[in-house]
Amino acid sequence: MLDLFTPRFRKEKLHNHFRLISADPDYAKAQPIIQNWATGLLDRRGESQKFINEFQTTFNSSMWELYLNRALIDLGCSVDFSKSAPDFFVRGPGNYEFNIEAVVSDQPPTAKQQKTFNEQDFKTRGALKLAGKIRDKLDLYRGSNGKKHPYSSMSHVRDRPFVIAIAPFDSDLSLTQNNELINMVLLGLTPPVLEGPDLGKQDKMTSLRKPSGAQVDMGVFTNDSFKEISAVFFSTLGTFGKAVVESKIDRLVRATRYRVIDKDRIAPGSELWQVGTHRFQFAALNYLLTQRRESEHQIGGADMLIQHSSFHRETHLDGLQVYFNPYAEVPFDPKFPWPVEIALNYYDVESGEHIQAHPDGALVSRQVYEITPAYIRLLLGRYGFIR
């Protein structure tokens, strides 16, 4: 297999993340993991050299394709790389065929991070970028703007589900957004209220305003305006951090997992399902904060974990979310055998509700830090383990 990591360009042309992975001995263990993700992907005729060049110079979009390629293998799928477009012509279990076009919302190479952080601006900007990238790929499918060979005209695309796989890389903080911004774009839902009597409540929204003043539609899966898209795959976790935790490099991992259980399945006296906020330390560098709230039949909430990477468990598919378009011309097969860790999202046309089929333990977010006293103090302080 062609080697992703032998530098092909002068140092100043290499992407910062690629430079770090290829030069820092700490990350040597992550290289064979990422190389393994490329299985089959580098066999595409005429495309492999271009792919490696982009991986080394622009990085993020290639990293996302590498993540997806491995995810498809774990889903029990194969990819026919004789088709040059869209990015993945997939054959799943039972010979079920569909196409995936991959895209990231990236920042231009010259982008400067703003010195002051405004959460509302960050969310608006991030949602507009996601919406713009999804629209661009829909235009490729439709053949808008005079494109000569739209995806819809290709025989292997016609009458098969068309999926857009998108990940946000548009700012240094874009991977902290969980699924809030994609929920704005696809389902027209504002971020949930985080405290007070309206805890968890989400309002509806129909559009966001660009800096130019133009309005951009939100909630594109709540009507038939994007009916050519069967589903969207989304993750903030299909990143270099995934390769770091898969390689078990010595790192500090901060992760959040969604938790839910039927009350009749809770063992009597279970400390981990106590309602409210509780903190546990199981070992050196193995901390858990539980947040639990009660509904009629269930206890739900979240686990926040701060752990040495040797304690952290994460599959390649952890963090992958799928959104189904109820208005799709070619719906994605509802009987597709999804592995347990994947979070599925539906929109109920009758009730206008977002239906989250998220498994107990679904990985919501994860960041990786060097193990330094400063990071340990920062994380333990943030979650109330030290004052």
pLDDT in tens, 120-155: 888 899 999 999 999 999 999 998 776 678 999 999
Q: What is the pLDDT, as a whole number, of residue 191?
A: 80
Summarised one tens digit per residue, pLDDT across range 317-370 is: 999 999 999 999 999 999 999 999 999 999 999 999 999 999 999 999 999 999
Domain edges within the chain = 11-241, 252-308+359-387
The identity of residue 222, as a single letter, is T
Closest CA to 63 of 43, 92, 85, 33: 33
Summarised one tens digit per residue, pLDDT across range 76-91 is: 999 999 898 899 999 9
| Cα–Cα dist 48/26, whole Å | 27
What does DSSP assign to residue 189?
B
| Cα–Cα dist 88/99, whole Å | 6
The identity of residue 219, as a single letter, is G
> What whole-number percentage of the chain has pLDDT above 90?
74
Task: Return the structure tokens found at 88.
Answer: 């993945």
Summarised one tens digit per residue, pLDDT across range 197-210 is: 666 678 899 999 99
Confidence of residue 1 (pLDDT cuts 50, 70, 90): low
| Cα–Cα dist 138/152, whole Å | 10
Task: Return the structure tokens found at 169.
Answer: 């890389």
Cβ neighbour number for residue 216 with a 10 Å cutoff: 16
Q: Which helix (H) or strand (E) holds 64?
A: helix 60-74
Pair 1, 44: CB distance under 8 Å: no
Summarised one tens digit per residue, pLDDT across range 146-180 is: 667 899 999 999 999 999 999 998 766 666 778 89
Task: Return the structure tokens found at 92.
Answer: 């799943």
